[in-house]
Amino acid sequence: MSRSPSSAYRSENDELRREAGWIRRQSLRVLVDMSPGINLFPDLRLVDNIKEEYEASLAAIDHVLAKMAILGARDLIVSLHRQPENNYTGAQTQTDFDKTMRQICKDAEARRITVHLRMSPGKPPWGLQAAVDFLERVAADNLRLAPSVAMLLADQTDPTKAADIVRNKVDLWLVAASEHDVAGRLWNTHAGITKFGRKNNMAAILGIVADKPTILDAVYPDKDAEYLDARALSRLVTEGTTSKPQDMSTDRASTEHGAAN
């Protein structure tokens, strides 16, 4: 006998409530990352260029927010996506990004959830200043910035200048290393940090806002690699480094993680 959608939904929510009890007892902080699915097509979109798909995307995001509230998860990571290829201007796209993010933040705030904007390769905003400008346009108190350490390293970000830009906008760090090919072109922003050759630079980036949570953002081949990265990140956060950061403009291809192996 098949269950009705409403009974399946109730059962799912009941299971979330049971899990929430265990999570509270362990004092765990749960974060939900929807950014891989925010891609315009084939999954979720933040622009109203196709009304049915736009409304379905907003409904899906709201559904996740509702489940987060039941589970006790208070952090949602999102991203923007590329501009539609046809019959939609950059100005229209930007207007919809602003409007949609305000709505997501409003729905999240009602559930005491903070929204963190992930910076991702191939997706706007293009750089720290553009990200901060976006946050200020949306003007939602619960919208924060989640910078990618790998991207900042790949962009040769000056920590001193970056500190002036982000001010009080960062609430968590997404930590991974960058990899470049033999020609010096960036091809990966989700590499492990254990063998990364510029930990001094990574420590300097994290030092921009030193009191915020750090989350490993790498892809791992196995649990051993994940464990080694967790140890490396713990040392980086608790001990930092007393060495001077290297010049990021010198021979990236030979010193980045990928070429070092």
User: Is residue 107 one of the residues assigned to a domain?
Assistant: yes
Last residue of a domain, one of 111, 145, 179: 145
Q: Check whether residue 99 and residue 56 sit in a common domain.
A: yes
Q: Check whether residue 120 and residue 180 sit in a common domain.
A: no
Q: Check whether residue 221 and residue 231 sit in a common domain.
A: yes
User: Is residue 7 one of the residues assigned to a domain?
Assistant: no
**Mean of pLDDT values over 99-115:** 98
Q: Check whether residue 25 and residue 123 sit in a common domain.
A: yes
Lowest mean pLDDT among 10-14, 149-153, 230-234: 10-14
pLDDT exceeds 70 at position 201: yes
Question: What's the rounded Cα separation, in Å, for the pair 17 and 221?
Answer: 32
Q: Check whether residue 216 and residue 227 sit in a common domain.
A: yes
**Mean of pLDDT values over 161-176:** 94
Q: What is the pTM of this model?
A: 0.88
Domain that holds residue 98: 16-145
User: Is residue 45 one of the residues assigned to a domain?
Assistant: yes
> Residue 84 sits in a domain of what CATH number?
3.20.20.150
Q: Check whether residue 153 and residue 213 sit in a common domain.
A: yes
First to last CA, the chain: 56
- How many domains, the chain? 2
Last residue of a domain, one of 145, 163, 193: 145
Q: Check whether residue 126 and residue 243 sit in a common domain.
A: no
**Mean of pLDDT values over 143-156:** 96
The model's confidence at residue 239, banded by pLDDT at 50, 70 and 90, is confident
**For the chain, what is the mean pLDDT?**
90
- pLDDT tens readout for residues 23-37: 999 999 999 999 999
Q: Check whether residue 209 and residue 228 sit in a common domain.
A: yes
Question: What's the rounded Cα separation, in Å, for the pair 252 and 207?
Answer: 22
Tell the burial category of 197 from Cβ atoms under 10 Å away from its Cβ (0-12, 13-18, 19+).
middle
User: Is residue 33 one of the residues assigned to a domain?
Assistant: yes
User: Is residue 9 one of the residues assigned to a domain?
Assistant: no
Closest CA to 175 of 225, 144, 121, 218: 218
Backbone dihedral angles phi then psi of residue 76, each to the nearest 5 degrees: -115, 125
The model's confidence at residue 245, banded by pLDDT at 50, 70 and 90, is low
pLDDT of residue 11: 87
Last residue of a domain, one of 115, 145, 175: 145
pLDDT exceeds 90 at position 145: yes
Question: What's the rounded Cα separation, in Å, for the pair 145 and 131?
Answer: 8
3-state secondary structure the chain: CCCCHHHHHHHHHHHHHHHHHHHHHHCCCCEEECHHHECCCCCECCCCCCHHHHHHHHHHHHHHHHHHHHHCCCEEEECCCCCCCCCCCHHHHHHHHHHHHHHHHHHHHCCCCEEEEECCCCCCCCCHHHHHHHHHHHCCCCEEEECEHHHHHHCCCCHHHHHHHHCCCECCEEECEEEECCCCCEEEEEECCCCCCCHHHHHHHHHHHCCCCEEECCCCCCHHHHHHHHHHHHHHHHHCCCCCCCCCCCCHHHHCHHHHC
Question: What's the rounded Cα separation, in Å, for the pair 113 and 163?
Answer: 25
Q: Read off the tokens for 247.
A: 């010049």
Q: Check whether residue 153 and residue 140 sit in a common domain.
A: no
